């Protein structure tokens, strides 16, 4: 499969705001912080046309309390990723063919992957606020917004990587992992959040 990288779309913040509203209605009783992260949150940055959302909750005990309310809003919960990332609950809005309903759960062992024949339109990452993994997402976003040269280098890498074939988006993510990890370290050292 090829990964689609497109020029920045000024409508991405509006799309995020709509999903933020839906999530606030679903889990507002848990008092989450809901942030737009990833490349679509950085003005001018080329990206996969997938809105990434970071939902920060106050404690580990609240992670599983987000599952039912978010899946009830039509998002798919990917339990399959929990063994490798137990600190995160991952959801996606899937671009289903017309007339098909998205699954509410992709369980451990399920071969379904994001970025396969059914694309992910929105990815939701639920984590505990102020933990390392929450901070690295927010810091990288803020760093790329403030450091144009780093954002341009990241865009160039993604555009180059998009010319290759991948088995799934996890392979694409692995191909850019060294750059992202180095950028995250710079971002965390710089970030004042």
pLDDT at residue 175, rounded to an integer: 94
pLDDT at residue 109, rounded to an integer: 85
Distances (CA, A) of 149 to 16, 140, 144: 25, 14, 8
Residue 44 backbone zone (phi > 0: left; psi -120 to 50: alpha; other: beta): left
- 3-state class of 103 per DSSP? coil
Q: Are 23 and 70 in contact (CB under 8 A)?
A: yes
The predicted-structure confidence for 114-126, as pLDDT tens digits, reads as follows 666 788 999 999 9
Q: Going by DSSP bridges, is the β-strand pair 105-106/89-94 parallel, antiparallel, or unpaired?
A: unpaired
Instruction: Give long-range contacts, CB 8 A cutoff, 24+ apart: 93-101.
Output: 93/19, 93/120, 93/121, 93/122, 93/124, 94/118, 94/119, 94/120, 94/121, 95/119, 95/120, 95/121
H/E run at residue 29: none
pLDDT at residue 168, rounded to an integer: 79
pLDDT at residue 115, rounded to an integer: 67
pLDDT at residue 83, rounded to an integer: 94
Q: How many helical (H) and strand (E) elements, i.e. helices and strands, does the chain have?
A: 6, 6
Q: Which pTM value belongs to this model?
A: 0.95
Which residues of the chain register pLDDT less than 50? none
pLDDT at residue 38, rounded to an integer: 96
pLDDT at residue 78, rounded to an integer: 95
């Amino acid at each position: 499969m090829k990964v689609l990288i497109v020029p920045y779309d000024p409508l991405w913040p509006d799309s995020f705001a709509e999903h933020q509203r839906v999530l606030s209605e679903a889990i507002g009783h848990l008092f989450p912080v809901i942030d737009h992260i990833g490349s679509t949150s950085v003005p001018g940055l080329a990206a996969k046309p997938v809105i990434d959302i970071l939902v920060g909750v106050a404690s580990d005990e609240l992670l599983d309390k987000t599952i039912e309310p978010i899946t009830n809003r039509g998002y798919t919960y990917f339990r399959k990723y929990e063994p490798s990332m137990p600190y995160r609950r991952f959801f996606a809005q899937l671009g289903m063919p017309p007339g098909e309903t998205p699954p509410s759960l992709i369980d451990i062992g399920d071969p379904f992957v994001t970025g396969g024949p059914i694309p992910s339109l929105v990815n939701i990452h639920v984590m505990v606020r102020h933990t390392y993994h929450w901070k690295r997402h927010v810091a990288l976003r803020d760093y790329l917004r403030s450091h144009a040269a780093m954002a341009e280098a990241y865009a160039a890498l993604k555009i180059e990587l998009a010319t290759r074939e991948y088995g799934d988006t996890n392979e694409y993510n692995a191909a850019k992992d060294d750059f992202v990890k180095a950028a995250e370290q710079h971002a965390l050292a710089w970030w004042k959040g």
